[in-house]
Amino acid sequence: MTQTEEVMQLYYEYVMPTYTKVPLVMVKGKGIKAYDIEGKEFLDFFPGWAVSGLGHCHPKVVKAIKEQVGKMIHVPNNYYNELQGKLAKKIIENSFDGKVFFCNSGAEAVEGAIKLARKVGYPSGKYEIITMEDSFHGRTLAAITATAQPKYQEGFAPLPGGFVYAKFNDLESVRSKITDKTAAIMLEPIQGEGGINVASEAFIAGLKKICGENKILLIFDEVQTGIARTGKMFCYQYYDVIPDIMTLAKSLGGGFPIGAMVAKREIADVLQPGTHASTFGGSPLACAAALAVFEAIEEGNLVEKAVRRGRYLHNRLSLLKKDFPFVKIVRGKGLMQAVELEIEGKQIVDKCVEKGLLINCTQKKVLRIMPPLVVKNADIDTAVAIIQEAMKGVTVEG
């Protein structure tokens, strides 16, 4: 048995089989490189499903965690911890005037947003939340119900009520779903799991108008798009809009679990003591990691780099269209790019893995390419060359 097989055996016997897995046991990472237990090196263009936004084991994050871990790991939220206040201030300084609730994951941040929107709407009998087809908001019961994709909901009925679905980038569809019970509209500015579908400026401008006219909250789920990924610190900043609520997680902690729900000041105090909580939320260790992430982004000028490197990546990927007729379109913002294919992408992803490149495929036909913010043009050249080689070997049916 190889070392990989030994680890896989333990999973077969003792770990619930909830994930479709690639047969790799990852043991080490540094920057854009990841290494498996057999010593094979990979160029990681999808580090941690957008969690390791700064690459693996960024020195600033490692240092901050090491320093904090010996001082205090956890402080319950009935006491104060100085790093939570500092992190909240940092998030607000980089977004909009408001307050932050800390939790541990994206789904939890989304749950918080749903609860806040309902509590705000409660006195006027508003509780419905409009979400978008092909969205993804996480795996708790409320989050899968907000996620308007039947495949995530099947077998889990009864689902909580109060969710209504509209078509993404279709204002008429949204308008037709509004009732006197609508409390909020929630969307990802770029649908990640849904296939890197970018919200149009007209759509967001229209949503802003609809929300203003009907006193409806606008919630941006930036769990995947946040923290410089798209070439702005938060993706909403591409649009002429400020959301009432924004959810964050994934790369916020540079690999360490932390989620956040940010709300405008005028609604933030609706969640009073006893209405919402998270035991682990905003621990000093998680906050130390997240503060280091902001420091690394500022010092490394990584927002601006995400724009430049993203443009380079986009242009390089677009060249694939010339050679491969099954490449339909390349789209995305910053370092969140997709190559949509006419064929299934799994065989290309598998071939890339063989050749030492990690990428992802979503919605069966969309290659999702999200390298860390520290990616260099030379890494992009190498990765695109591998994708090109992988594409040469595909079999096109029909």
Question: Please, where are the H alpha helices in the chain?
Answer: 3-14, 59-69, 82-94, 106-121, 141-146, 150-153, 171-177, 201-214, 265-268, 284-299, 302-318, 320-323, 346-354, 377-392
Binds ligand PLP (CB under 6 A): choice among 98, 138, 254, 334: 138
- Encoded amino acid at 219, one letter: I
Q: Is position 340 an interface residue for ligand PLP (rule: CB under 6 A)?
A: no
Task: Decide whether 196 or 327 has the Cβ nearer to ligand PLP.
Answer: 196
Binds ligand PLP (CB under 6 A): choice among 29, 189, 192, 282: 192
From the list 285, 225, 270, the residue with the least C-alpha distance to 112 is 270
> E strand or H helix at 329, and its extent?
strand 327-333
Q: Is position 110 an interface residue for ligand PLP (rule: CB under 6 A)?
A: yes
Say how many residues make up the chain.
398
Binds ligand PLP (CB under 6 A): choice among 136, 168, 203, 234: 136
Asked whether the beta carbons of 253 and 293 are under 8 A apart, the reply is: yes
Binds ligand PLP (CB under 6 A): choice among 137, 309, 316, 331: 137
Q: Is position 53 an interface residue for ligand PLP (rule: CB under 6 A)?
A: no
221 given a catalytic annotation:
yes
Binding-residue total with ligand PLP (CB under 6 A): 14
- Encoded amino acid at 103, one letter: C
Task: Decide whether 110 or 114 has the Cβ nearer to ligand PLP.
Answer: 110
From the list 42, 18, 38, the residue with the least C-alpha distance to 30 is 42
Q: Is position 223 an interface residue for ligand PLP (rule: CB under 6 A)?
A: yes
Asked whether the beta carbons of 253 and 289 are under 8 A apart, the reply is: yes
Catalytic residue, chosen from 45, 46, 102, 136, is: 136
Binds ligand PLP (CB under 6 A): choice among 44, 111, 221, 379: 221
Q: Which residue is nearest to ligand PLP (CB)?
A: 106
Q: Known catalytic residues? A: 136, 221, 250
Q: Which positions lie near ligand PLP, rule CB under 6 A?
A: 105-107, 110, 136-138, 188, 192-193, 221, 223-224, 249
